[in-house]
Amino acid sequence: MLRWIVFLIVFIIMDLYAFQAFKTITKNNWMYLLYWLLSVLVVGNFIYSYAGFNRSNGFSHANAYAFGFLLAIIIPKMVLLIGMFAEDIFRVPMAAYRYFTEGEAAKGNYLASRRKFISQIALGIAAIPLTSIIYGIYKGKYNYKVLKYTLNFEDLPDAFDGYKITQISDIHSGSFDNLDKLNYAVNLINEQQSDVILFTGDMVNNKADELLPYMNVFNKLQAKDGMYSVLGNHDYGDYARWESEEAKHQNLETLKALQKELGFDLLLNESRFLEKNGERIALVGVENWGVGGFKQAGDLNKASKQIKENDFKILMSHDPTHWEKQVIKHPYHYHLTLSGHTHGMQFGIEIPGWIKWSPIKWRYKYWAGIYKEMGQYLNVNRGFGYLAFPGRVGIWPEITVIELKKGAAIS
């Protein structure tokens, strides 16, 4: 209860500051009423959705939209708060000075009026996150981007020169709310005509049955050399409440069976070989391995037991911290590791060749795109789906296409 009281107090203070800026652009009382009504509805809906919320009960669409709409109004109001408070840093001391120097001569009007242009500048800046978040909720989460990379390897088997891999990650099927957009995305994956499709974990948010409504969509995925997958941290059902350990175990078994039905070969600390014209590359898949409280079921040594040190290797590992903590320095040389997990926080700014930024960079060293360390590559996919916040702002859902080329690595 205390946290909700604190939340309301902070929000009211923020709203009062924001309202002062809002009053500089209209004198219409009906607009004032609309302003406060919108605030009450959004905050009331958020409290209603989360007052008894327990993550283990699952994260519904109602929860997601309540959170999304709160962000849509609270971040712009934070911008206005900063703008208005910055002005008060000068207004309040000046009012105190006038009080002690002018006294009755000021006729009680010690506090100078707000300058209209400052309020309007703050409103203009606040409109940027407002429109961005609204766009992210209604359009951005399905704004699929195909990102293509060409990676060169001197020891790539000749038969695999030009071999194309499509990577998808973090489907989070329990979050979807638009079947048509999902069909479009699956068709977009197939249009890449890659040799193999690799899925790097988090098929669901919590429970296997989240995938059921979309089986007839994902079963359209196809690649001539097959499809392979690994588990992500959400796939184990660790964040849901189960009536028994047996129920939790059965949920995971059901998810494994559903992935097989879709045509995925699920690698559980295992390896496979992709063969072509008498040559081969090793495909290694580990279970989830992460830090900061995430499950560490991945066993790289076990997964690599059937391969040789001089094999060309592609590793599928959901969490990029695994690459940082174990893979790079492993005695075996893993030429390419494919990960996901971070979603790029579903929020950031990316202008290719200019800027790539997201707050997630303060949590993960490797959070989106291609990285190279010690002659080994990592690609962190930004995710196919979304979680918690029902949208994406600046960090769009990703389909990665990687072409392997024979030749000297390009710096």
Judge whether 391 and 346 are in contact, CB under 8 Å.
Answer: yes
Judge whether 321 and 315 are in contact, CB under 8 Å.
Answer: no
What was the pLDDT predicted at 20? 85
Tell which phi-psi region holds residue 202, choosing left (phi > 0), alpha (psi between -120 and 50) or beta.
left
3-state secondary structure of 297: coil
Q: Where are the domains of the chain?
A: 2-138, 142-406
Q: What is the CATH number of domain 142-406?
A: 3.60.21.10
The pTM of the full predicted model, rounded to 2 decimals, is 0.91
What was the pLDDT predicted at 106? 53
Phi, psi of 151 (to 5 degrees): -115, 135
Please spell the DSSP secondary structure of 274-338, one letter per residue. Answer: EEETTEEEEEEE---B-SSS--B---HHHHTTTS-TTS-EEEE-S-HHHIIIIITTSSS--SEEE
Phi, psi of 88 (to 5 degrees): -65, -25
What was the pLDDT predicted at 89? 67
Judge whether 380 and 361 are in contact, CB under 8 Å.
Answer: no
What was the pLDDT predicted at 13? 87
Distance of CA 74 to the CA centre of its chain: 20
Instruction: Specify the DSSP element, H or E, that contains 355.
Output: strand 355-357
What was the pLDDT predicted at 105? 53
d(CA 185, CA 139): 13
What was the pLDDT predicted at 398? 98
What was the pLDDT predicted at 91? 66
Mean pLDDT by 10 residues, the chain (411 residues): 84 88 87 94 91 72 91 92 73 65 58 66 90 96 97 97 98 96 98 98 96 97 97 96 95 98 98 97 98 95 96 98 96 97 97 92 97 96 96 98 89 58
